[in-house]
Amino acid sequence: MHRLHLLLTLLLLGTLALGCGDSPNARRNQDAGEHDGGDIDHATGSLSLSLEGLPPESPWPNIALVGDTTLSVPEGGILDAIPVGQYQVVAQNMVLDLATYNAPVANLTIEADQHVELTLSYALLPASWQVIIEGLPGTLTPQVNLSGPNTDVILNASALFDDLTPGTYHLTPQQVSDGTTTYHAAVRTAALTSGANDPTTITYGLANGQLQVSFQGLPAGVSPTITISGPGGYSATVNSATTLQDLVPGIYVVSAADVTQGDLNYSAPPQSVEVLSDAIASAHLNFGMATGQLNVVTQGLPAGAAASVTLTGPAPSTAQTTYPDVTNLPGLAPGQYTLTFHNVNAGGSSYEPATRTTTASVQSGQTTHLTQTYAALDGGLALSHDLPSTGSLTIRVASAGISHSRQLSGQGTAHIPLDPGTWSLSVSVNQLGTDAWGNVYTVVGGS
């Protein structure tokens, strides 16, 4: 039975060999019992792969062993039972936050029953970046501090970088001034990744200024409405003293609406003020009570003759003020005034006001109108006098046996009705007294 089984096996092997096309004369390996050159090589080797150049906390990257077959290198880098042959070690880029690490392709040969040790070196891919600085006149040099990983430099012009460590960078511009004008720019931050990055632009502009607004002259508890207008259509309204921030340099106009409190109006002239860059300007509004005025229209006087009036009232003071030529009396404080009109001598005639004393109310910011009518006095003498306050003087006017006496004192004009004709004027009684040295006052002249 054993001999029969062996014979059948040999016959079957021979049949299979002939079916596969082997020549019946093929040489056989007497040691192994196999055909020369017709068997599959199952010899293998092993690999121990280590990494360098990556941060300690880095995960294991994807690494492939690429040859007649592709194998994945596991974490730790130990790979066994690798078929013999030529291979390339291909490592995927490692991206950690903003940084990318790259390892070149490595070639190796796996031989039967051999162990290969290989170190794969990763390198950090640098960042490239352009910083553009603009906005300054050609006479000024920018100063921009660039800080970041392993970097702390001052830029005085636009710059192109091609070997920066990936990470977060800060651009801090310093103010630049030509002595009168100051320029500044905002701080910029850029997160740079490995490879090319978008440019970052630093734009200088005029540094903003401030404007302090204040006022005075209003009654306690009264608030004004103040408007501030300036460059570029700027407009702001405030109701109290304040400081306006971040103003574009230029000319600003500060004005206030009139304020009404009871019967009184208050106004303040507007101010123009220049706000300079990086400086504080101030505008102070002075409110004053709006004055009124009197307008006096006279009737009955000859052309060229002017009325004379004494004004008594609250302002400029309660003292009497005489206006020799009364038409318009501006700048009067609001209140009640008394007007005393005087006779007017013109063209040899004397004119008397119809109403010698009258009152008028002056209102804030308004004009009060008055009309005064004069009438010529019938024949007579208008005698103006300016006498010491120590006494009186009695004068006598006589003609053809007719005489008139009039006692004069102080200052003024005395009107003495007279018939047409020639009259003589004399002093009949001198009661003026004496001066401080005992000298008697005398009349020294007249016209």
CATH number at residue 269: 2.60.40.10
Q: Rounded mean pLDDT of the chain?
A: 85
Same domain, 61 and 85: yes
148 inside domain: yes
135 inside domain: yes
Q: What is the pLDDT of residue 81?
A: 95
Most confident listed range (302-306, 419-423, 433-437):
302-306
Phi–psi pair at 12, nearest 5 degrees: -65, -45
447 inside domain: no
- With a pLDDT cut of 70, the percent of the chain lying above it is 86
Same domain, 97 and 162: no
13 inside domain: no
Same domain, 325 and 340: yes
Q: What is the pLDDT of residue 18?
A: 32
Same domain, 255 and 309: no
Last residue within a domain, chosen from 256, 271, 288: 288
Per-residue pLDDT averaged across 371-392, rounded? 80
Q: What is the pLDDT of residue 238?
A: 97
Same domain, 101 and 131: no
3-state SS string for the chain? CHHHHHHHHHHHHHHHHHHCCCCCCCCECCCCCCECCCCCCCCEEEEEEEEECCCCCCCCCCEEEECCCEEECCCCCEEEEEECEEEEEEECCEEECCEEEECCCEEEEECCCCEEEEEEECEECCEEEEEEEECCCCCCCCCEEEEECCEEEEECCCEEEEEECCEEEEEEECCEECCCCEEECCCEEEEECCEECCCEEEECEECCEEEEEEEECCCCCCCCCEEEEEHHHEEEEECCCEEEEEECCEEEEEEECCEEECCEEEECCCEEEEECCCCEEEEEEECEECCEEEEEEEECCCCCCCCCEEEECCCCCCCCEEECCCCEEEEECCEEEEEEECCEEECCEEEEECCCEEEEEECCCCEEEEEEEEEECCCEEEEEEECCCCCEEEEEEEECCEEEEEEECCEEEEEEECCCCCCEEEEEEEECCECCCCCECCCCCCC
Cα separation, 296 vs 299, whole angstroms:
10
CB 306 within 8 A of CB 344: yes
Tell me the Ramachandran region of residue 53: left when phi exceeds 0, alpha when psi lies from -120 to 50, beta otherwise: left
- pLDDT confidence of 409, banded at 50, 70, 90? confident
- pLDDT confidence of 379, banded at 50, 70, 90? low
pLDDT digits (tens, 9 = 90+) for 3-52: 333 332 333 333 333 333 343 333 333 343 444 444 555 799 999 999 99
Same domain, 82 and 153: no
- pLDDT confidence of 113, banded at 50, 70, 90? very high
- pLDDT confidence of 430, banded at 50, 70, 90? confident
Handedness of CA 27, 30, 33, 39 (dihedral sign): negative
Same domain, 305 and 366: yes
- In terms of C-beta density within 10 A (0-12 exposed, 13-18 middle, 19 or more buried), how is residue 391 classed? middle
Per-residue pLDDT averaged across 329-347, rounded? 86
Domain of 301 in residue numbering reads as 292-376
- In terms of C-beta density within 10 A (0-12 exposed, 13-18 middle, 19 or more buried), how is residue 349 classed? middle
Phi–psi pair at 58, nearest 5 degrees: -70, 140
Same domain, 366 and 385: no
Q: What is the pTM of this model?
A: 0.52
Q: What is the pLDDT of residue 115?
A: 97
Last residue within a domain, chosen from 244, 262, 288: 288
34 inside domain: no
- pLDDT confidence of 2, banded at 50, 70, 90? very low
Last residue within a domain, chosen from 288, 306, 333: 288
Per-residue pLDDT averaged across 79-85, rounded? 96
CB 369 within 8 A of CB 349: no
pLDDT digits (tens, 9 = 90+) for 209-231: 999 999 999 999 999 999 999 99
Same domain, 277 and 246: yes
Same domain, 273 and 301: no
Phi–psi pair at 73, nearest 5 degrees: -85, 120
pLDDT digits (tens, 9 = 90+) for 232-274: 999 999 999 999 999 999 999 999 999 998 888 999 999 999 9
Per-residue pLDDT averaged across 428-438, rounded? 82
Same domain, 176 and 145: yes
* Total count of domains within the chain: 5
Residue with tokens 């508890």: 221
25 inside domain: no
261 inside domain: yes
116 inside domain: yes
Same domain, 72 and 93: yes
